[in-house]
Structure 1
């Protein structure tokens, strides 16, 4: 009998087997020359039946020898391939192929819902398209073994207690001293990787020009801008290799296709360890080369490899037993990083943050409530991490006035626009989670802030927490990017330097093809989108919702991001 538990067991076994198989296939020597090596492995998931087939594709594209020593896996490029089960098996025969670059600190797994929804929506309209969610090369450093076990306790033991899974022991989080090769992993290599992947997978340029739509989310829009203006053969007079001629059109998800970070205000937290670009390109590059500057972007709480792993672990608990009482806050080991993150995420005011009491482990929470507290726009105080997945339920709720007070001038921008909330009874009732499609129901308590402002409403909730959990926990390529290359951001921040400016060879490439811009109504560009873009606005959406929203919304209508992507794929204009 096929039950949710049996499906989860099948997924766990398949995920771990696929991970181990991929590891064996990609054991190549650094600097080895590519000889057409390619693997494609089906992905088994508990996603609802939607007629979409998913696989993980890995293609061997070695870095230049000048990058120096790096793990063997980093000479491979990876992406998640989504296609219609009723469509052609060969990508070149698809009606259209959408190729998506992730945002800052984001991996291919973050596109799971929008990719599935878009492919399924297009199939309903008689079009068989593909969606390729790219993983940047730096994701090669991530170890998914613990997550692929499918068990939350096993994952915690693997990543934090040194216990083996499938005969492997976690090698630890990679420190700056082992990231020397990433000092050169900037915008030039990133767009080159996309070009090499496209030309390798679709060698006929006419297919690329007629069928490929290039785009991305957040920073992915800026990367697409650089791709569109790039020249890949070193001769500007020959334009068949130009980025603009690899795409039939562009798409931007809560971003713009440009070569500037100006439209992404609030996407990089103030407390990250970025070097001061005022030093100039040469000084910044010297600092990265020497290791004086961190080669991977991180911050003291949440935004570092150790704590980003917690998102996938929380997802595991929700996939396994959404409404069950969570023990994750008490099962996690105590260390400075995890404690600081827990305090930042689960303190209702400054006094609570300083004292550490009450702590998250003092509350009774379901697995869904734990995940919601880490990802929902009414809880997490970082705008670029927010999605609209519902609201707390089951007991009294208070204003979360840390790190910014509700209604204060500090709320927009970095912290987002929504009032923040937090459970208010430690050692009390079991706090549950009201999913997006139950907000506003007759049994909804309609929680309000102390000033009378409703925390949320049905029109503000768009993402299914079950599907968010699945995207975090089940994908063979991570939802997050644990080792984001510092150089990728500093290059773009230094766009006027000669070293970066030379990469924009064909500046008209940005406007050479039709563009679809879809913005989150409450996202990073809310209220300040350039008028000439004529964007589609997804009302009530936060920055991540353009990737994670459910296929049917609370108004009964199809999800607008995937609907417009499917329309654009059918006829770019």
Structure 2
């Protein structure tokens, strides 16, 4: 199984999905290797702080290294990279990912007959889109070497295996029109990246910028090594406007909190685990695509958030803020703790069985240093990929996207498509195939990290679905 990772994520982000699938197939007497393939940008991250935290078993060591001018073995953090240092990211997009995927697959499995019989290719989120482009890619040497002929089957986990979801390529007039207009726009955007008019990374953009993603890894380390200890990391963070905006976007309960700064995150008391949950949980975080279903706040009173709007799970706007309800603490003297996914008795807004990820699993994988396992996060994920995939979807087949030649051939291979019922991807459900499998109570990010043991002894849905698909399609 060769699986491409989603945006801003590294290889370790899929560890639970991989382990659960390996064990599920093992129960059927099958042996599988799971390869999670990250992007080259993962290597930009300085993992010294996370390594030092692992050695000391103390997340504060990582915090001091990245944000407190701390020294580790004589080395001081050089700072986060600026766009001026990262000009080469203008060329790190869909073509680079697809070619890297092909290199790994062909080098590790040099016999094309083995690849066609036993290699299952896919990914989660944007990783599934990469796998879809791989299937349509012309690698030279005739159609026999096209991407769809390199794998036995394809899997889109909360994702879509396609390069033409709007079916523009099936109508000649639309194909020509989209190709001409889209091609000109694509060339202009790529030129703007090279000229520095468009940013080559998300540096400086609140919540998705490298500084904030690194902070999530550090808070994961703190929650891993001292889960129940009261934290002060949210108060010790040096003043920085990007961090301030990022935290307000994630935490604010009202517009007064968002724009006025009242009732700020730093005003409340949390354990390390609760602070991590506050910034990543589907009942606390304001940003839907990044939410994990991993439990709820405990230890003090909470109230429903109203920013940017009150929660309504049936509204298309839930793609932005999640299906909720989202809660914010109200008592500045209470020490807020966290109830894990399997401890939800008596919580009316998150009943037992409605959450699927253990916050302790998430903390453990966030704490992993990239040098050890290529890490959970990829803070320097490049915008070029988003330009490429949007252009490919709207019909561009020029420049780096010219090798997309076999989009319709994916029908010759078995394809698994899944969507979580709490995922923001669900708003695009009309574009998904009719045999799409829906994963009950899974958010977009849950598909990577669902706990092995689910409520009421239910089987874990992602690994079970993948296992059934692989068993049906092995020779």
Name the CA distance, whole Å, in 1 between partners of 2:382 and 2:164.
17
Instruction: Work out whether residues 396 and 423 of structure 1, in 8 Å CA contact, stay in contact via their aligned partners in 2.
Output: yes
Name the CA distance, whole Å, in 1 between partners of 2:267 and 2:323.
28
Return 417-426 or 323-332, whichever deviates more.
323-332
Name the CA distance, whole Å, in 2 between partners of 1:565 and 1:498.
32
Name the CA distance, whole Å, in 1 between partners of 2:216 and 2:292.
13
Name the CA distance, whole Å, in 1 between partners of 2:15 and 2:7.
17
Q: CA deviation at 1:529?
A: 4.9
Task: Find the partner of 1:455 among 341, 349, 356.
Answer: 349
1:280 counterpart residue number: 185
Name the CA distance, whole Å, in 1 between partners of 2:426 and 2:209.
27
- SS of 1:403 mapped into structure 2: coil
Q: CA deviation at 1:471?
A: 1.3
Name the CA distance, whole Å, in 1 between partners of 2:184 and 2:244.
34
Name the CA distance, whole Å, in 1 between partners of 2:237 and 2:362.
22
Name the CA distance, whole Å, in 2 between partners of 1:341 and 1:459.
30
- SS of 1:398 mapped into structure 2: strand
Change (3 A) 1:406 1:102: same
Instruction: Work out whether residues 322 and 366 of structure 1, in 8 Å CA contact, stay in contact via their aligned partners in 2.
Output: yes
How many correspondences in the alignment? 448
CA-to-partner distance for each residue in 1:407-435, whole Å, 9 max, x for gaps?
A: 49574122122211011111x21111110
Name the CA distance, whole Å, in 1 between partners of 2:114 and 2:184.
44
TM-score normalised by structure 1 residue count? 0.74
Change (3 A) 1:177 1:431: same
**2:363 is equivalent to residue 469 of structure 1:** yes
**What root-mean-square deviation, in Å, do the aligned CA atoms of Structure 1 and Structure 2 show?**
2.1
Structure with greater helix percent: 2
**2:304 is equivalent to residue 369 of structure 1:** no
1:309 counterpart residue number: 214
Name the CA distance, whole Å, in 2 between partners of 1:102 and 1:425.
39
CA-to-partner distance for each residue in 1:291-341, whole Å, 9 max, x for gaps?
A: 121012356322100001111111111111222212211232222222222
- SS of 1:280 mapped into structure 2: helix
Gaps of 5+ in 2: 168-181
Task: Find the partner of 1:166 among 73, 76, 83.
Answer: 73
1:52 counterpart residue number: none
2:156 counterpart residue number: 252
1:99 counterpart residue number: 2
CA-to-partner distance for each residue in 1:5-54, whole Å, 9 max, x for gaps?
A: xxxxxxxxxxxxxxxxxxxxxxxxxxxxxxxxxxxxxxxxxxxxxxxxxx
- SS of 1:555 mapped into structure 2: helix
Q: CA deviation at 1:530?
A: 4.8
Name the CA distance, whole Å, in 1 between partners of 2:43 and 2:5.
15
Q: Which has the higher contact order (CA 8 A, sep 6+)?
A: 2
Return 539-548 or 252-261, whichever deviates more.
252-261
Q: CA deviation at 1:260?
A: 5.0
Task: Find the partner of 1:222 among 111, 116, 129.
Answer: 129
Name the CA distance, whole Å, in 1 between partners of 2:319 and 2:184.
26
TM-score normalised by structure 2 residue count? 0.89
Q: CA deviation at 1:168?
A: 2.5
Instruction: Work out whether residues 157 and 419 of structure 2, in 8 Å CA contact, stay in contact via their aligned partners in 1.
Output: yes
CA-to-partner distance for each residue in 1:238-291, whole Å, 9 max, x for gaps?
A: 23321112111011111110115779xxxxxxxxxxxxx897122111111111
Name the CA distance, whole Å, in 2 between partners of 1:404 and 1:480.
29
Structure with greater strand percent: 1
Q: CA deviation at 1:129?
A: 0.5
Name the CA distance, whole Å, in 1 between partners of 2:361 and 2:311.
29
